[in-house]
Amino acid sequence: IAFPNGPFTRPHPAVWRIIFGLSVLYFLGLQFLMFQNYKTIMGIFYWLDPGLKNFHINMDKEYGVNCSDITIERIWSHVDVFALAHFLGWMFKAILIRHMGILWAISIMWEITEIAFAHLLPNFVECWWDALILDVVVCNGVGIWCGLKLCKMLEMREYRWISIKHISSTTGKIKQIKLRAQIS
């Protein structure tokens, strides 16, 4: 199977072909797992990593307790694996979406979603400073900034997410409609 060239040219098209190939293998693996039962899937995971047999999520940590106590030690204790996940997730979302306004809107809406579903997951219960400062400004904001800087460094195409009603000329609107028809 020959994988097509993608839109990315930096650092080298071969790198993007490898990434595309790995994503196809990942997709095929997920497709395979969809048709297995729970016992078989867990057997595969235990075979890949035997340490998963004794794995459990530590639910001893309290979230959203004593929010008026704001110290550097307390803030630093909240920088955990979720903070790294926020950062990396928003960095890769920035690489995919490539628009600062849309990224910030999604980031803030996700924090509102966490507040709405805090009754379902204990780690969604956060202090105001954790949700606003650590999540939105620090982890998400720095992740968005790093992702957009990486796009600029790799000379990736910039997306202009505009509505058709913001295009002033009729010719421009017709071109946009033709482009959308070709994509779908």
- Residue ranges of E strands in the chain: none
124-175 pLDDT, tens per residue?
888 888 888 888 999 999 999 999 999 999 988 877 777 777 888 888 888 8
Decide if 139 contacts 81 (C-beta within 8 A): no
pLDDT for 134:
86
pLDDT for 55:
84
23-78 pLDDT, tens per residue?
999 999 999 999 999 999 999 999 999 999 998 766 666 777 788 888 888 878 77
- pLDDT of residue 184 exceeding 60, the answer is no
Which pTM value belongs to this model? 0.61
**Identity of residue 93:** K
Residue 150 CB coordination number (10 Å):
14
Handedness of CA 44, 17, 5, 157 (dihedral sign): positive
pLDDT for 61:
67
